[in-house]
Amino acid sequence: MTYQEIVPLLTRILTPGQVSISDTDRALHAKDQSFHQPSKPDVIVWPESALQVSQILILANEYEIPLTAWGAGTSLEGNPIPVRGGILLSLERMNKIIAIQADDFQVTVQPGLGYKDLNVQLARYGLFFAPDPGANASIGGMIANNAAGSRTVRYGATRDNVLRMEVVLADGQVIHVGSRSVKQSAGFDLVHLFIGSEGTLGIITEATLRLSPIPEHISAIVAAFNTVQAAVETVVAVRGSGLDPAALEFLDAFSAQMLIEAEGLDLLPKPTLFMEFHAAHSSALDAGIKIVEAICRDFGTISFQATTNATERKKLWDARHRHYEIVVRTHPDQNFLVTDTCVPLSAYIELVNFIEQQIRQPNRIEAPLVGHAGDGNIHVLIPFDQNFSYERAQQLNAQLVKKAISLGGTCTGEHGVGLGKARFMPIEHGGALEVMRMIKKTLDPKGILNPGKIFLEDAPND
- Which residues ranging from 266 to 325 are in contact with a copy of itself (CB under 8 A)? 278-281, 283-284, 286-288, 291
**Among residue numbers 124 through 153, which ones bind a copy of itself (CB under 8 A)?**
126, 145-148, 152
Q: How would you class 308 by CB atoms within 10 Å of its CB: exposed for 0-12, middle for 13-18, buried for 19 or more?
A: middle
Sheet of 303-307, strand order: 303-307, 217-224, 272-279, 247-251, 369-371, 379-384, 335-338
Size of the site for a copy of itself (CB under 8 A): 101
CB of residue 84 to a copy of itself, shortest distance in Å: 19
Contact region with a copy of itself (CB under 8 A), list: 6-14, 41-49, 193-201, 264-272? 193-201
Work out which of 5, 64, 244, 385 binds a copy of itself, going by CB under 8 A: 244
Q: Which of 377, 334, 301 has the alpha carbon at shortest distance from 149?
A: 377
| Count of other CB atoms within 10 angstroms of residue 266 | 12
Nearer of residues 81 and 443 to a copy of itself, judged by Cβ? 443
Q: Which residues contact 29 (CB under 8 A, 6 or more apart)?
A: 40, 41, 44, 70, 73, 80, 82, 88, 90
**Among residue numbers 198 through 217, which ones bind a copy of itself (CB under 8 A)?**
201, 213-216
Q: Which of 165, 144, 226 has the alpha carbon at shortest distance from 454?
A: 144
- Angle CA(174)–CA(175)–CA(179) in degrees, nearest 5? 145
C-alpha–C-alpha distance, residues 121 and 143, integer Å: 19
The helix-helix angle for 310-321 and 323-330 (nearest 10°) equals: 50
CB of residue 235 to a copy of itself, shortest distance in Å: 10
Nearer of residues 43 and 177 to a copy of itself, judged by Cβ? 177
Nearer of residues 274 and 424 to a copy of itself, judged by Cβ? 424
Contact region with a copy of itself (CB under 8 A), list: 7-15, 89-97, 259-267, 420-428? 420-428
Contact region with a copy of itself (CB under 8 A), list: 183-191, 295-303, 310-318, 361-369? 183-191
Work out which of 342, 355, 359, 419 binds a copy of itself, going by CB under 8 A: 342
58 binds a copy of itself (CB under 8 A): no
Nearer of residues 171 and 263 to a copy of itself, judged by Cβ? 171
For residue 244, what are the β-bridge partners?
none
- Identity of residue 148: A
CB of residue 380 to a copy of itself, shortest distance in Å: 16
